[in-house]
């Protein structure tokens, strides 16, 4: 649960991430707008997630780290009551402009301003790449807190054998922020330590620029 304030180290990486996405929000939205249509495996993951949410009776679903809102909007098209949260105020401005009528709000995954047990499901799609290892436990504990018992978590992340900050390739226009890549087994361990039950067969699928790990878990 949030302590109500960030420590200096947390403030540093959060400030860096926020500034990077604020500076690049419009270009980022342009680059990613049609990305899901180019990645059928990820469409299948979203369809499965949406089906599971509907089977659970529906209810609010948070897209944490929503960026310009493309995944939030896609989930709404699939019949999910999704809303978006992002650290970057500029990203939220773009999301609201591109998807009028949908709910988007500024917020940090380290301090989710949501009531305990208030969500049916939570999605974080390639957003934990910016979270240092030492802060992952707090973030996942926050995800666990806001989900109702049995609530569903879909976590997408950049997968690799190690998780150092990632240097961008010269032709990449992604925001220049921390880029941690994790072993799926390590992420699964962190989820278990945070109280989640992880599905036994995580899906590894092709992401935009690197191997992507996808884990489904229940509170």
Give the tens place of pLDDT for each residue, 104-128: 999 999 999 999 999 999 999 988 8
pTM (2 decimals)?
A: 0.82
> What pLDDT shows up at residue 4?
40
Residues of the chain with pLDDT under 70: 1-10, 160-178, 201-211
> What pLDDT shows up at residue 201?
59
Q: What is the DSSP letter of 159?
A: B
Contact between 65 and 134 (Cβ < 8 Å)? no
Question: All domains of the chain, ordered by start, with CATH?
Answer: 8-218 (3.40.50.150)
> What pLDDT shows up at residue 211?
63
For 41, residues 6+ apart whose C-beta sits below 8 A from its C-beta are: 203, 205, 206
């Amino acid at each position: 649960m949030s302590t109500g304030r960030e420590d200096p180290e947390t403030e540093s990486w959060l400030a860096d991430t926020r500034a990077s996405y604020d500076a690049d929000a419009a270009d980022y939205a342009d680059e990613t707008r049609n990305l899901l249509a180019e990645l059928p495996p990820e469409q299948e993951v979203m369809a499965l997630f949406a089906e599971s949410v509907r089977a659970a009776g529906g209810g609010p679903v948070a897209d944490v780290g929503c960026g310009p809102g493309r995944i939030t909007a896609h989930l709404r098209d699939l019949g999910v009551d999704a809303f978006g949260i992002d650290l970057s105020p500029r990203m939220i401005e773009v999301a609201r402009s591109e998807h009028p009528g949908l709910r988007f709000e500024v917020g940090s995954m380290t301090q989710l301003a949501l009531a305990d047990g208030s969500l049916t499901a939570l999605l974080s799609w390639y957003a934990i790449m910016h979270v240092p290892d030492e802060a992952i436990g707090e973030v996942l504990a926050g995800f666990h807190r806001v989900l109702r018992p049995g609530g569903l978590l879909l976590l997408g992340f950049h997968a690799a054998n190690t998780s150092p900050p990632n240097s961008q390739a010269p032709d990449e226009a992604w925001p220049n922020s921390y880029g941690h890549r994790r072993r799926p087994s390590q992420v699964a361990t962190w989820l278990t330590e945070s109280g989640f039950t992880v599905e036994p067969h995580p899906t590894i699928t092709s992401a935009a620029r690197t191997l992507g790990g996808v884990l489904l878990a229940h509170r």
